[in-house]
Chain A
Amino acid sequence: GAVVSQHPSWVICKSGTSVKIECRSLDFQATTMFWYRQFPKQSLMLMATSNEGSKATYEQGVEKDKFLINHASLTLSTLTVTSAHPEDSSFYICSAIGENTEAFFGQGTRLTVV
C-alpha cells in the first residue's frame, strides 16, 4: 500500500513554544490530507481537512490560529501547534487519501508539553 510518513514520532516541548509536525505522502500525490487528534482510549477526532494550495477547513471548536496547517505541495502538509500548553498534549495523526479513497495514516506524533 501507499506510504505516509509523519515526523517527528514524539516531541517534548516547553509551554509557550511552537511545534511543527510534518506529514508526507511518499509514493502518491495527496490532494487532500486530514489531521486528527486522538486522546487515550478514544476515537480519532478530525481537526481539519487540508487541501493542496488552499486554506485548510477546520472543524468546529478547533482554533485555526492555534493549529496552523499548511499544504504547500501535493506530498506535504504541516501542522504547527503554536504557543503550546499542557492541555495540547496528545497524539496527533495525519492521513492522506489515495486514488481509491483508502486512507493511509502517518505514524502519529505524541506531543508532550511540559
Chain B
Amino acid sequence: GENVEQHPSTLSVQEGDSAVIKCTYSDSASNYFPWYKQELGKRPQLIIDIRSNVGEKKDQRIAVTLNKTAKHFSLHITETQPEDSAVYFCAAKGSNYQLIWGAGTKLIIKP
C-alpha cells in the first residue's frame, strides 16, 4: 500500500523567511496530494492541493511542487508570518479515496 514520509518533523524559521516541507510517497498510482494545516486543538484545514497532471500550483504565499518521477512533493511558504505557525500534514490519495498521511511538521515562526 501507500506510504508517505514527511520531513522535517520540526522546522523553525525567522519571520519573513521561506519554509519548505517535503514529502515522499511510494505508490506511483497516487494522483492527489493535499496539504493541511492544523492549529492546536483545531481540525486540519486544506491549504493547497495538487493533482498528478500538474507540476506546480501556487496560491499567494503558498506553493506546492510535484515530481512524479521521483515521487515527492513539497510545500513552500514564502514571507512567513507568525500566523503560519502550526502543524502541517501532507497526504497522498491511496485506494478507496483513502488519504495516507505524513507524520506532520511543526512549523515555528520566530519573531
State the CA gap A17–B47 with chains docked (Å). Answer: 38
A44-B96 contact given A102-B34, A108-B43, CB 8 Å threshold? no
A103-B43 contact given A42-B104, A43-B89, A44-B89, CB 8 Å threshold? no
Asked if A61 is an interface residue, CB under 8 A from chain B, the answer is no
Min CB distance, B46 to chain A, in Å? 6
Count of chain A residues near B, Cβ 8 A? 22
Count of chain B residues near A, Cβ 8 A? 21
Give the residues in chain A near B99, CB-CB below 8 Å.
34, 95, 103
A49-B93 contact given A102-B49, A103-B34, A103-B46, CB 8 Å threshold? no
B103 touches which of A43, A101, A108 (Cβ 8 Å): A43
Give the residues in chain A near B32, CB-CB below 8 Å.
101
Binding site for B on A (CB under 8 A): 1, 32, 34, 41-44, 46, 49, 57, 93, 95, 97, 101-108, 110
Binding site for A on B (CB under 8 A): 32, 34, 41-46, 49, 89, 91, 93, 96-99, 101-104, 106
